[in-house]
Structure 1
Amino acid sequence: MSATARAKSLNPQSILARKGGVPIVCLTAYTTPIARIVDAHCDLVLVGDSVGMVLHGLPSTIGVTLEMMVLHGQAVRRGVENALLVVDMPFGSYEESPAQAFRNAARVMAETGCAAVKLEGGVSVAETIRFLVARGIPVVAHVGLTPQGVNAFGGYTVQGRGRDADRVFADARAVAAAGAFSVVLEKVPEALARAITADIAIPTIGIGASPACDGQILVVDDMLGLFTDFRPKFVRRYGELGQAAATAVAAYAEDVRQRRFPGPEHVFAEALPARPS
């Protein structure tokens, strides 16, 4: 699909229409340069609250603020021309009430120019999703492992095993019925993700889920291999940029210490004017 075709078609309704069709390609982005790269190839670009861990070194996404999401959303907006831009609502910005969610989501959309927001949760946020959609705010839902609930889950564990599958299934059905135009399924058993995808009428976007999902998403820094010590099972590394960067920095440091850099080609040669004696 060409960039021109995508530019004309990529909106929440066109993503919804991709249900059961060509898989939806999604990646995260947090900066303008990366946004420009992924925009050329992706259908949906997510400014994830994973920015807190990826770029700010936080131990989880809990500490991410609305201001951080707006700042990075604005940066990514400058680099996205074709893909659908979605921004995460951070922890504490929507759980209190639908009114709180609308106020904060409206701010995110107005200040970043994104086309939709993403909320974590299923049955518990269905009323909020319905409230937002009725007021013109498109929503991507997120069920299964919801990182903002990591403390309640007791860690980043697979969700929906055994009898817990009913809970995740109910969450997916609830957000679809509430009007979300797609839903992220994170870290759930493959068979469950496959069954949910077949059951609900909106596209599923998998991360640690199933190849049967209607689309896939990864954290861009993970799939590029920027973290040499982080290798979750569900990530395929399409590059090893972390090691490449370490090698490049080491070479630079050695050249500086040995006075090999800068060389004559990196400086501005000009004779000093004569000084009076």
Structure 2
Amino acid sequence: MSTTDSPDGTAVPSLADPGTAGVRKVRVHHLAQAKARGERLTMLTAYDAVTARILDEAGTDMLLVGDSIGNVALGYDSTLPVSLDEMIVATRSVARAARRALVVADLPFGTYEASPQQALASAVRLVRAGANAVKFEGGRPRADTVRLLGQAGIPVIGHLGFTPQSVNALGGFRVQGRGEEAAETLLADAMALAEAGAAAIVLEMVPAPVAARITETCPAPIIGIGAGAQCDGQVLVWTDMAGMTDWAPRFARQFGQVGEALRQAAQAYGEAVREGAFPAEEHTFSH
């Protein structure tokens, strides 16, 4: 088992080698330990049990049941139409399959902005569905919400930079934190969330130098997406990572061509059926 001494001298398991780390389940305190050791954290989205099982077995540290399910799986043109009920079904599916990964579920648009109490009620439903932590967007105005959920025993992951639920207010898909004033605002937001008890913060579409400064300054682990290589970890939408479509955002990298492999498999299946080659004798019950 791979271990490293913590600041108090006790040995803590490392996340760096999922096969030998001895971590049966990734918990929020493991995220802080990884940041302290300089170990990079991994997060991928997942929306169903089949995908979650595969990503979990691959050693992914965190599975994000993102409201990106709207764009990726439900056919919406943005995350805004996604409902809490839809998130609960997806969270249940992912949580049933995840054995090691920390399951993080998004609070969708309209389920937390009105008050910390509204956020708590929504978060409780996601935790009951199997989430180990919840994520929502916003900086300093959300600090009281982070505190309230923390008092209720619900870990929170923040989300700063480009926040998809605010796409209309932000004027589209635009990099955030450009310029000294905007960078200082982002840093202040991150510090406020961390001081309120956020277990980690997702930083999306932010210039790499700004993200590096926030990562160095903020005590909470910073999980980047389009925020450069100096963050404490990285997150991608799994379909972008696996090459499920021809399109991918600039900040994503295709680590496989799963979409093409699936297309070829479906084509081969269709040809075998039409030619009468499937089902063959070994696929048939004789009595």
Instruction: Assess same fold via TM > 0.5.
Output: yes
1:19 aligns with 35
2:80 aligns with 62
Query: TM-score scaled by structure 2?
Result: 0.88
Query: How does 1:180-195 map onto structure 2 within 5 Å?
Result: 180-195=198-213
Higher relative contact order (CA 8 A, sep 6+): 1
- How far apart, CA to CA, are the structure 2 residues paired with 1:260 and 1:61? 43
- How far apart, CA to CA, are the structure 1 residues paired with 2:64 and 2:122? 17
2:193 aligns with 175
Query: TM-score scaled by structure 1?
Result: 0.92
- How far apart, CA to CA, are the structure 2 residues paired with 1:156 and 1:261? 47
Query: How does 1:17-166 map onto structure 2 within 5 Å?
Result: 17-20=33-36, 21-40=38-57, 41-110=59-128, 112-162=129-179, 163-166=181-184
The code of the aligned residue for 2:149 comes to L
Once the two structures are overlaid, the 10-residue window that deviates more, 189-198 or 18-27, is 18-27
- How far apart, CA to CA, are the structure 1 residues paired with 2:274 and 2:172? 44
Q: CA RMSD in A?
A: 1.5
- How far apart, CA to CA, are the structure 2 residues paired with 1:99 and 1:135? 11
1:231 aligns with 248
Q: Is the CA contact (8 Å cut-off) linking 1:6 and 1:43 kept in structure 2?
A: no
Q: Is the CA contact (8 Å cut-off) linking 1:6 and 1:83 kept in structure 2?
A: no
2:23 aligns with 6
- Paired residues, what number? 267
- How far apart, CA to CA, are the structure 2 residues paired with 1:49 and 1:132? 19
> Are 1:267 and 2:274 an aligned pair?
no
> Are 1:252 and 2:269 an aligned pair?
yes
- How far apart, CA to CA, are the structure 2 residues paired with 1:5 and 1:120? 33
CA deviation after TM superposition for structure 1 residue 130, in Å: 1.6
Once the two structures are overlaid, the 10-residue window that deviates more, 254-263 or 233-242, is 254-263
SS at match of 2:169: helix
1:241 aligns with 258
Once the two structures are overlaid, the 10-residue window that deviates more, 256-265 or 190-199, is 256-265
Once the two structures are overlaid, the 10-residue window that deviates more, 245-254 or 95-104, is 245-254
Paired-residue identity, %: 45
Unaligned residue ranges in structure 2 (runs of 5+): 1-16
- How far apart, CA to CA, are the structure 2 residues paired with 1:231 and 1:27? 15
CA deviation after TM superposition for structure 1 residue 169, in Å: 1.9
CA deviation after TM superposition for structure 1 residue 7, in Å: 1.4
Q: Deviations over 1:53-99 (max 9, x none)?
A: 11111101101111111101100011111111111111111000011
The code of the aligned residue for 2:189 comes to D
SS at match of 2:153: coil
Once the two structures are overlaid, the 10-residue window that deviates more, 21-30 or 193-202, is 21-30
* Runs of 4+ deviating beyond 3 Å: none
Unaligned residue ranges in structure 1 (runs of 5+): 271-277
CA deviation after TM superposition for structure 1 residue 131, in Å: 1.7
Higher-Rg member (1/2): 1
- How far apart, CA to CA, are the structure 1 residues paired with 2:169 and 2:56? 35
Q: Deviations over 1:144-166 (max 9, x none)?
A: 01111111112111111124222
